């Protein structure tokens, strides 16, 4: 596992690792879109990449889309929002991912929704459960905030499924650490924002429970960049 002092150091080294050690893979799908044979989506990938940032500071993360992150954080704190408000801050990314609500009967005019949102999966009261449990059992090893659901087993390749698996909090010696588990992470389009939101949540929970902010640990099964974005990364 790589250890970094801060995010500037981490981001520079992650890019270097991906450029030098990444292998080329041509995926069949990206989200719910077929990209087999599309050279734009030829993927340079690092598998099972894990690193730690000892002093995680949200303001030091390069490339954050500030308006979207702040709106998404509000959506997650409210909980159970779909589509929520954040997507309107990045319509070029999210608009095409809206889908008609498949749960409504034929002949109606269902609203556009996403296959899932993080606000639905882990927002609102779910974060509060972590805070409450930390106050009762400060040394618990069970502080897991899941995102991936069993429903995703039937959606793979057909509908969007979460890139994030979940978040594990652990408090030791007065410091609260967070391990962020992802099955897949696009370094160019989503990495800065996903990590920023995770670090914001770490600081939020630490403040409400009275602990110092400890290290941020990040595991990514597929850490990648698409050919169409390579020129903007390396």
Would you please indicate which residues are annotated as catalytic (active-site) residues? 163
Rg (CA), the chain: 18
C-alpha triplet 149, 155, 158: angle, nearest 5°:
150
Nearest to 76 by CA among 170, 169, 196, 176: 196
| E-state strands within 103-232 | 112-113, 144-146, 164-172, 175-186, 212-226
**What sign does the dihedral 164-95-59-124 (CA atoms) show?**
negative
Cα separation, 66 vs 145, whole angstroms: 24
Residue 117, token pair as written in the block:
């949102």
């Amino acid at each position: 596992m790589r250890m970094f002092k801060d995010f500037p150091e981490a981001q520079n080294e992650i890019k270097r690792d991906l450029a030098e050690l990444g292998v080329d893979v041509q995926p069949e799908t990206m989200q719910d879109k077929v990209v087999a044979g599309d050279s734009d989506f030829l993927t340079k990938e690092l598998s099972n990449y894990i690193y730690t940032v000892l002093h995680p500071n949200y303001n030091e993360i390069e490339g954050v889309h500030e308006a979207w992150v702040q709106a998404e954080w509000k959506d997650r704190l409210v909980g159970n929002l779909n589509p929520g408000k954040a997507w309107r801050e990045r319509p070029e990314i999210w608009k095409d991912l809206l889908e008609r609500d498949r749960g409504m009967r034929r002949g109606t005019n269902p609203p556009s929704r996403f296959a899932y949102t993080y606000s639905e999966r882990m927002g609102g009261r779910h974060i509060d459960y972590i805070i409450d449990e930390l106050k009762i059992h400060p040394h618990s090893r069970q502080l897991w905030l899941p995102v991936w659901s069993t429903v995703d087993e039937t959606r793979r390749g057909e509908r969007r499924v979460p890139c994030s698996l979940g978040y594990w909090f652990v408090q030791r010696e007065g410091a609260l650490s967070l391990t962020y588990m992802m099955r897949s992470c696009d370094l160019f389009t989503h990495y800065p924002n996903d990590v920023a939101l995770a670090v914001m949540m770490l600081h939020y929970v630490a403040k409400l429970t009275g602990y110092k902010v400890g290290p941020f640990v990040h595991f990514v099964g597929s850490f990648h960049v698409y050919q169409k974005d390579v020129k903007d990364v390396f």
